[in-house]
Chain A
């Protein structure tokens, strides 16, 4: 009997398994193990455990992954038989994903999404997504790359829909699922063609094959590159493959949006750099112009699209499309300088985005909406939030003394350095347009002095704003907003919109979600997000910390510059 069991085991033992560097793999492992632990912890019935310990553990796991990545900083090599890279690029990506995840965990405290989806599941999904991102951005093999992409995408589809009673949230999850799947499928097809053309899955081997067999004009390979590019552009929300972005960003819970906007971008762009600069540098003459055109389209479409947005989340979505365009400039030039510039700007983008999204969470908590009107007079109501959001937006716009300026400077320099001056021009034109919408939002927060247009408006406004000023009572601000809606036809549309959304939260959504009834019994009264008069302290902290980083790194960027300089080690084949 024992022999019959042991025989297969003995055969297994003879299998040659790859040598695994557990230390190098530790950030990924921490995220995966953490996901399971959080899920189990979320099963406890005690409210305190679910609402405090679960987010705390999730936060701790993300921080731990950052710590482990720093610990492994000096290691160079590859993991699991060459499937994953262990290099500064991977470590920087892991740290950025960890930081985004930690911040998102903080932002989701008290969020409706975490309550409706139950805390354990929500944070577990967040951690799995993080693990998928780390896998994706360290992959140096087509198979592990695709594996990582799926691991990060599928939980994100679910996370986008976690506000189960809100039609917009469900819609966004559905939209993301469908369009994301198309992107994944295209990417997979592209990978298959690349494999078909070169006969290799490993990035280095692909590069060698292209170089030695002179494949840079091979139709099969170029077809594969084109499809892979399209698939990745879907994921990075690069125009013209961006249509899902505004809807999903607006519909998803804000903490999830923040995570999606930052960590996904980090993962996808680092994966793009790896694929194009490690596996395909030999064909850069072909894909360079194509990526450049995509970047230029993204900058223009994103910035122009953001101009007319009423919802701040939509505005940030369009802005993130433009930012993806800026980031691609660093890929296009296919130099070490370009890759460094891209990674620098990527980190800057993470920090700036969190300053913005955290502020949006804080405002949403108090007013129940992310409409631009909700930001009126924020400078008096919540100066810290307003200053953070202002600095975040100015950073995204690229004002000097913010990290965004240094980042853009670096991209422009990299572009000129390799003969892509025209693309730098697009970058600058995009920035010019972007000032119009960033500063309009900033102006809303700080507008003061002067006279008002109509006397009636003045009194009503003063009543609404005044109360809001004194005690920060969100209800007063809402009343003010309502009063304005009656006067101003422009605003009235927005008000009407809100009513429709409010109606959508009713029974009709329950039909859409089969499992909704269970949840409804668990949390009966929390269907509609109630404006809370309590400030969202974690969000304010995240916003303030990010804002300090935006200015600090803008004035003294050298430490971050030096860190990013190590990226060159990961891309030895580039100039």
Chain B
């Protein structure tokens, strides 16, 4: 019996059991987190990639008076991110279980908070209702606030202000998104209609074109702060320094991906016009983030901050991919989200291992020569490093390649070239990190020793996963790219791309014409504006050709099977050509 509610709430249930178990909380939390991981694998295996669309749908009314539904589903966009979430939290929980600091200090509450965090991340990925997503997105931060306050690193009083800064920063974005979400739902509701926040309903009804701009701006603000992106990354330094490393591993590796997912799964289909109007701003922000953060990452001497800034840069790539409005870019963004998450987990562990060998210091200047007596550690570390810098052959390379290719065609070649500088810079900071810590002269406080069995186990598992994914990155893309294409296509139409490309095809002329001007379309409903003029098939999310009543693939203009969304003939869809 696979039910998404079980996956969603199991972490909290396990956390509560752990709280009841008191000092033995880890004996509950560790097997619990592994069970949750297994469950998410089951959902992944269960996912039918040929069917596409929403699967395992759970839908109930939650707050009837507000039109908010409790609706969950797996889609091509979220199955892999769900797995990333469960892997990340299982990793953090197992890692925490080896730490005395957690064991000695209210372990039950610690694991409960992690459980709440996991549930809210899973909820944000699974939610098919806009307000449900916003609720989980806002809730996500709260357990991490408590984890940082109660079990964080750094000096106590400073930590309070650091964590508050992080929370307030992030909430500014989240609360703006709350307003934007309510506005989207209310404005999309036709006069006298029943208000609904279901993603499918809002996409179908269409948010009025005039409001899409500011609504998208609010969404983008929330997502960019969360990621974070360059001008609004002020909380990163303090936030990263005040969290303990296992918590930071999930925070950096998993939570930021919700923002990337939000761009693809919410902003693109719901606000196509807003995306088209404003995406250039966000793209420029993303490129600046990549360049700026990469430069900071290879000048800072704090290894934790190297990872912090590297994640800003990597999320810049993911943002670009999400906003290329192309299937390959968006699918690449999802793949790269998974990759970056998987790299962050062992990377944080590496920080802890290095600090343990350098007398507790996390400063590069105190490091050096750790590999001297620790060859196994060095070997595992180099794999992590290669993945971090997106070495060809790693899955990260595949992800960045797809993103850059999408940017080349979907934005501008010059744009992709500038962004690709980030790949070069990544190798600078990643290799610098590796060389300065493991090679060079033995640092002043360094006591080189091999990994303990628990460290080895913890580090080896994610490294093996990275290697496995490097061999077969296609498993992610195969599940993802159909959904990514569907998510991007409304915006692609709004961008007028299909009309330009396939002017000959009669089916597309109607769709393309309708989008280009809003008034030109022959078959559009009277008074409807822009993308709102095109009927969208609710099951596949594809536009419906007004002349035939059949859904059309926006990139090819060919009619598609309305149940699956697959093309009815064998023409390959543009952009999926691998």
Binary interface encoding of chain B residues 221-240 relative to chain A, with 1 for a CB under 8 A from any of its CBs, else 0: 00000000000000000000
Q: At the interface, is chain A mostly helix, strand, loop or mixed?
A: helix
User: How far is it, in angstroms, between the C-alpha of A558 and the C-alpha of B146 when the chains are bound?
Assistant: 29
**CB of B460 closer than 8 Å to a CB of A:** no
- Identify B178's interface contact among A428, A439, A451, CB under 8 A: A428
Q: Within 8 Å CB of A562, what residues of B?
A: 64-65
User: How far is it, in angstroms, between the C-alpha of A355 and the C-alpha of B427 when the chains are bound?
Assistant: 53
User: How far is it, in angstroms, between the C-alpha of A450 and the C-alpha of B142 when the chains are bound?
Assistant: 19
**CB of A406 closer than 8 Å to a CB of B:** yes
Determine, out of A63-71, A185-193, A408-416, the stretch whose residues face the partner at the interface.
A408-416
**CB of B338 closer than 8 Å to a CB of A:** no
Q: Are A410 and B183 in contact (CB under 8 A)?
A: no
**CB of A421 closer than 8 Å to a CB of B:** yes
Q: Are A449 and B152 in contact (CB under 8 A)?
A: yes
Q: Within 8 Å CB of B131, what residues of A?
A: 409
Q: Are A340 and B244 in contact (CB under 8 A)?
A: no
Chain B's nearest CB lies how many Å from the CB of A437?
9
Q: Are A406 and B63 in contact (CB under 8 A)?
A: yes
Q: Are B152 and A409 in contact (CB under 8 A)?
A: no
**CB of B101 closer than 8 Å to a CB of A:** yes
**CB of B156 closer than 8 Å to a CB of A:** yes
Binary interface encoding of chain B residues 125-155 relative to chain A, with 1 for a CB under 8 A from any of its CBs, else 0: 0000001001110110010011001111111
Q: Within 8 Å CB of B195, what residues of A?
A: 413
**CB of A528 closer than 8 Å to a CB of B:** no
Q: Within 8 Å CB of B62, what residues of A?
A: 558
Q: Are A443 and B178 in contact (CB under 8 A)?
A: no
Q: Within 8 Å CB of A431, what residues of B?
A: 175
Known: A405-B135, A421-B183, A425-B179. A340 touches B155 (CB 8 A): no
Q: Are B101 and A449 in contact (CB under 8 A)?
A: yes
Q: Are A453 and B176 in contact (CB under 8 A)?
A: no
In this complex, the interface size class of chain B, counting residues with CB under 8 Å from chain A, is 35 or more
Q: Within 8 Å CB of B135, what residues of A?
A: 400-401, 405
Binary interface encoding of chain B residues 65-106 relative to chain A, with 1 for a CB under 8 A from any of its CBs, else 0: 110100000000000000000000000000000000100011
**CB of A53 closer than 8 Å to a CB of B:** no
User: How far is it, in angstroms, between the C-alpha of A220 and the C-alpha of B560 when the chains are bound?
Assistant: 68
Q: Within 8 Å CB of A416, what residues of B?
A: 182-183, 186-187
B:427-465 near A, CB below 8 Å: none
- Identify B175's interface contact among A428, A444, A450, CB under 8 A: A428
Q: Within 8 Å CB of A340, what residues of B?
A: 65
**CB of B380 closer than 8 Å to a CB of A:** no
Q: Are A451 and B156 in contact (CB under 8 A)?
A: yes
**CB of B351 closer than 8 Å to a CB of A:** no
Q: Are B175 and A453 in contact (CB under 8 A)?
A: no
Q: Within 8 Å CB of A399, what residues of B?
A: 138-139, 142
Q: Are A424 and B171 in contact (CB under 8 A)?
A: no
Known: A401-B139, A413-B182. A443 touches B163 (CB 8 A): yes
**CB of A565 closer than 8 Å to a CB of B:** yes
Binary interface encoding of chain A residues 538-567 relative to chain B, with 1 for a CB under 8 A from any of its CBs, else 0: 000000000000000000011001101100
Q: Within 8 Å CB of A379, what residues of B?
A: 150
Q: Are A558 and B63 in contact (CB under 8 A)?
A: yes
Chain A's nearest CB lies how many Å from the CB of B146?
6
Q: Are A443 and B164 in contact (CB under 8 A)?
A: yes
**CB of A417 closer than 8 Å to a CB of B:** yes
Chain A's nearest CB lies how many Å from the CB of B459?
24
Among A416, A444, A453, A562, residue most surrounded by chain B Cβ atoms (within 10 Å): A416
- Identify B149's interface contact among A409, A446, A451, CB under 8 A: A446
Q: Within 8 Å CB of A412, what residues of B?
A: 178-179, 182
**CB of B159 closer than 8 Å to a CB of A:** yes
Q: Are A432 and B155 in contact (CB under 8 A)?
A: no
Q: Which residue of B lies closest to A405 (CB)?
A: B135
Q: Within 8 Å CB of A557, what residues of B?
A: 63
Known: A394-B142, A561-B63. A453 touches B171 (CB 8 A): no
Q: Are A436 and B156 in contact (CB under 8 A)?
A: no
A:422-443 near B, CB below 8 Å: 424-425, 428, 431-432, 435-436, 439-440, 442-443
- Identify B171's interface contact among A405, A435, A440, A449, CB under 8 A: A435
Q: Are A452 and B155 in contact (CB under 8 A)?
A: yes
Q: Which residue of A lies closest to B176 (CB)?
A: A428
**CB of B167 closer than 8 Å to a CB of A:** yes
Q: Are B182 and A409 in contact (CB under 8 A)?
A: yes
- Identify B168's interface contact among A400, A417, A436, A565, CB under 8 A: A436
User: How far is it, in angstroms, between the C-alpha of A446 and the C-alpha of B131 when the chains are bound?
Assistant: 30
Q: Within 8 Å CB of B160, what residues of A?
A: 440, 443-444, 447
A contact residues vs B (CB 8 Å cutoff):
340, 379, 394, 399-401, 405-406, 409-410, 412-413, 416-417, 421, 424-425, 428, 431-432, 435-436, 439-440, 442-444, 446-453, 557-558, 561-562, 564-565
The 6 A-B residue pairs whose C-beta atoms are closest, nearest first, are: A400-B135, A400-B139, A416-B186, A561-B65, A428-B175, A449-B151
Add 14 more A-B contacts to A340-B65, A421-B179 (CB < 8 A). Answer: A399-B138, A409-B63, A409-B178, A428-B176, A439-B168, A440-B164, A442-B145, A447-B150, A447-B159, A448-B149, A449-B151, A450-B152, A453-B156, A562-B65
- Jot down 19 A-B pairs with beta carbons below 8 A, ordered by A: A400-B138, A405-B135, A406-B63, A409-B66, A412-B179, A413-B185, A413-B186, A417-B186, A428-B179, A435-B167, A436-B168, A444-B160, A446-B150, A448-B149, A449-B105, A449-B151, A450-B156, A453-B158, A561-B64
